Chain A
Amino acid sequence: MLDLLWLVPTIPLIGFLILTFTQGKLSEVPAGIIGAGSIGLAFLVALLAGIEFIHSDAPFFSQHLWTWMSVGSFKAGFNLYLDGVSLVMMFIITGIGFLIHVYATGYMHDDPSFSRFFAYMNLFVAAMLMLVLGDNLLLLFMGWEGVGLCSYLLIGFWYTDPYNGYCARKAFVVTRVGDASMAVGLFLLFQSVGTLNIQDAMQLAQAQWPTAGGGTGLATAVTLLLLGGAVGKSAQLPLQTWLPDAMAGPTPISALIHAATMVTAGVYLIARTHILYMLAPDVQYLVGVIGCITLLMAGFTALTQSDIKKVLAFSTVSQIGYMFLALGVGAWNSAIFHLMTHAFFKALLFLTAGSVILGMHHEQNIFKMGGLRKDLPWCHWLFLIGTVALVALPFTSGYFSKEEILGAALAHHEGGYMLWLGGVAGAFMTGLYSFRLYFLVFWGKKTHDGHEVMRWNLQGPLVVLAVLALVGGYIVIPVEKVFPLVHEEHPSLMYQAIMIGLPMLGILVAWLVYVKGVIDTKKLAGSGLGAALHRFWFTQWGMDWLYDRLFVFPYVGLAKLNKNDFIDSFYNGTAWLVLALHGLFSDHQTGNLRWYSLTMICGVLLLVSIGVFL
């Protein structure tokens, strides 16, 4: 079955082609079967191939499909590369992807563009699989750009509303800034080691780049440039601004692309090229710092949002921050582990939020919800499961992965302690904002009626995800052959108590504030300092505002100013000059003899006088 690995990305691609070229003529049922079925089939093949791979005990499996291009010394092949990390990613993409596709057949029911939706979704899965299965960075980049395109298409899926189009464009352009940085990184890497094959490049770099003195400039430059791509895709500082707007897309998209898979591509990229980062320890530490700051910033921002999906979006930014933190302290496997558990519980949360939105007739404002426990019992329990996993209460999936990350930060030799502090502070924030959301939606006074929408394809996938979110922490990911061994150091009891206690404290505060009403939040947000802080947090620390003024407005302004291309005025000016001179001289061609003789005499006099006086 391992030889059929190429089928895994191919099947979704075929699904995309069928759905595209039938041009929406398929009715919902066959379109749904093709759309979701292709992912299910891909998952099946991936499962069989994966089992064989694990049994084979080989460190990796590679499959050469064809030579993509070979120009002089540059070669890139359409080669697949499967090892522990890409295996985990492949399972997440096809497995979680399948569940979300099934859910989407229920969620998108009756949408006039039903089959277009699944066409884009299938293309996305195909591209995402190329991203994780490519054996060279160019193939990875192909998947990378492909998922970006699908993200654009799906955020702007309901295209009649210009706001959705704006959000889609913003997502594409902002991530493309990162992509440009990444592309330059690829050029530099090729220039220095002569290949873009990931494994070869890492080996050559290890052999060629001197490691003394905190790494070389080359390692620093390459990893920084790649990091630029990673922060763009994974919505980390300073390129995180697009993700909240990406929530304009249909909710299954938010679950699949903007929570479970695509946004974690940056984490995958860094983990995939971890040897390069180990050669540049400063940059690696920077990854951790970025993660730490992002997770705190997003946590504060999540606390102020009123849109259920935006809270979850910032929570995603925050959780990816944890993954970056893990990468920064060299806990590569923990980063991938958290990536997986996060995919479970965040997909669950987003899809359940989708069910809540359906049940509330497309209302997304949490302040118009409340007391929905009774009306939406399924949603309530599923959401609660997702939330406790997100908050990392003991024995849920999120607990295992987050504890590993924080433990690794604590054990990290220098600077790890600061990251740990940020991480546990973030854990408190997570408890606070998550349960704020939960309490506001499901507790308190009921203001609007909700109606649970019951469909097998809505609740079915959610139950599977809920089970995964609860027990997924016991899954052991087979990455030990990929990453260098990390010394498992169990933190002392005090630290463990802090790590378990702080999220609970967050929940307690949330309960006191949002259920008991100990503090009036409206009043708090209304007072001088509170209002300023609220606005600051709410606007993601004013970064959109800043970017608009730094980049968007000047660019648009300059473009508008020079709409008529000032260079053209030079040529038009020349033409005008010629015409004017033509006019001037033709005016003298009057055919009037008296005028001719007069000017001739004047000319002669002029010449003579010049001759005399000089």
Chain B
Amino acid sequence: MILVWLMAILFAGGIGAALAESRGAEHPRAVALAAILIDLFLVILMLVAPDSLGLGTASTVAQLGQHGEWLVLLKAEWIPRFGVSFIFGVDGLSLMLVALTIFLGLIALGAAWGEIKQRSGFFYFNLLWTLAGVIGVFTSLDLFLFFFFWEVMLIPMYFIIAIWGHENKEYAAMKFFIFTQVSGLLMLLSILMLVYFHYSATNVLTFNYFQLLGTKLPANVATWVMLGFFIAFATKLPVVPFHNWLPDAHSQAPTAGSVILAGVLLKTGAYGLLRFTVPLFPDESVSFAPIAMTLGVVSILYTAKVAFAQNDIKRLIAYTSVSHMGFVLLGIYAWNAQAVQGAVMTMLAHGFSAAALFMLAGGLQHRIHTREMDKMGGFWGVAPKLSFMALFFTVAAVGMPGLGNFIGEFLVLLGSFQVSIIKTAFATMGVVVAAVYSLIVIQKVFHGKNKNNYVMADLSAMEFICYALMMIGLVWMGMYPQTMLDMAQPALQGLGVVFPR
């Protein structure tokens, strides 16, 4: 039940926040904070003391066969006529992503705290509903249910961009919506095809993930069905050439929106590939892997180059996100222990580093009302704390050993090298171009001279706490990644990744 509670609290909190606005503009954010804190408490409990919640492990697994270790599994009928049911479950992988979602929800709340003044009730409603949708995506194990939550997380985010965004928000929001909607439609078609073929083979109409696993599709159809899933998730991740919604959405979204987009929403794409695309279509994925890995490498290098040319700081960071997600794609399709673990680590670490960088960029925009780096410079002199944080998270994003992103990228490359030497060699060049675009940001914004004599407040206590938390997270991931690796391993084994001793 705890998973339902996690979502229900957010859904209810969202409605509560919307209603609370009539009592004053300050009230919604307090309601939202309460909801997220309760969730955070629950998820921490799940992480550190699963026994206290009576979470089942081995007994439930036994009924489900060899599908990894499910910490929680909940099953109830929904629309029995069509074989649709409520199946929620978390294994180590889902749980870490749920924890990341709630944690970054808190960070996003911190980012919105002083920034969102208008229609705050509706804003926090959307924020909490997006988070609830994402948690649903990370925990649903019924494809119909999964698709439902896929949509739930999209629409509130559309509103966040369209209402509280910047100068070109309608365009960006619409683009985000169409990209996600069209690719979602492809996924829906694929789900229906899969269910149909399963039905015609077994006479059982079901959307149950576990039952659909291992469904044999006619060879010519299978590839297309797999591609439907792949494109939906690749658009979300995003992967070149499906990435164009992202720079616009990011640069136009309010800070909290960017934090959730970069930190969490992108990971749903990676999660989908890991949980659904590859396990549902193992053979097709093997033959598709060279193409997917190539797309990953192209993403890494191509968007790094585009990022370098940007003048809008948020756009630049947005492109770097695509570049980093290229490593995730490369790792997932290399499909060995190191590569997939690396992909998971990159997802988590990038969740922190990108969220922090977008928050910094948003914070800068809030202070000086521009995102153009040409106008900036020398901010180290006026806001040393903010600059230090920017340096730290930039360095993390460059892949400095000792911080989480390095572990992810290193493991991805180590694993993918065993699959393709050439592609890995090109992907490794990504660390050079990452240095090129990252350091130019530091130079243009924080070093050099403060040409326009901007004066700005340094970090507030609230901001400082947010960054410090993410900093601790990245150092932990970098110095003792075993915590996360151990958690993900049984889940990944359940998905079919082989861990040789």
Contact = CB atoms under 8 A, between A and B. Distances in A.
Interface string A557-578: 0111011010110110000000
B436 interface: yes
A216 interface: no
Contacts of A152: 439
A180 B447 CA distance: 26
A562 B306 contact: yes
A562 B302 CA distance: 10
A69 B482 contact: yes
Contact of A559 (B309, B336, B381, B501): B309
A149 interface: yes
Contact of A187 (B337, B414, B498): B414
Interface residues of B, number: 59
Contact of A24 (B244, B384, B395, B431): B384
A565 B241 CA distance: 10
B57 to A, nearest CB: 22
B432 interface: yes
B417 A187 contact: yes
Contacts of A188: 417, 421
Most chain B Cβ neighbours within 10 Å, of A70, A565, A568: A565
Contacts of A388: none
Q: What's the interface size class on A, roughly? A: 35 or more
Interface stretch (B135-143, B255-263, B361-369, B422-430): B422-430
Interface string B239-255: 01101100100000000
A567 B499 contact: no
Contacts of A447: none
Contacts of A145: 400-401, 406
Contact of A72 (B337, B406, B440): B337
A68 B481 contact: yes
Contacts of B384: 23-24
Given A146-B402, A149-B400, A172-B439, A559 B306 contact: yes
A536 interface: no
B72 interface: no
A556 B309 CA distance: 8
Contacts of B401: 138, 141-142, 145-146
Contacts of B482: 67-70
Contacts of A73: 337, 500-501
A187 B330 CA distance: 15
Contact of A565 (B244, B337, B428, B436): B244
A36 interface: no
B36 interface: no
A264 B401 CA distance: 20
Given A180-B428, A559-B309, A565-B306, 13 more contacts: A70-B485, A71-B411, A141-B401, A146-B400, A156-B447, A160-B447, A162-B449, A169-B439, A190-B414, A190-B417, A555-B305, A567-B240, A567-B241
Interface of B: 175, 240-241, 243-244, 247, 305-306, 308-310, 336-338, 341, 378, 380-381, 384-385, 388, 395, 400-402, 406-407, 410-411, 413-414, 417-418, 421, 424-425, 428-429, 431-432, 435-436, 439-440, 443, 446-449, 479-482, 485, 489, 498-501
21 contacts: A69-B481, A70-B482, A71-B337, A71-B499, A73-B500, A74-B411, A152-B439, A160-B378, A162-B448, A165-B448, A169-B436, A173-B435, A176-B431, A179-B431, A180-B431, A183-B413, A191-B417, A555-B436, A562-B306, A563-B310, A567-B244
Interface of A: 20, 23-24, 66-74, 78, 138, 141-142, 145-146, 149, 152, 156, 159-160, 162, 165-166, 168-169, 172-173, 176-177, 179-180, 183-184, 186-188, 190-191, 555-556, 558-560, 562-563, 565, 567-568, 570-571
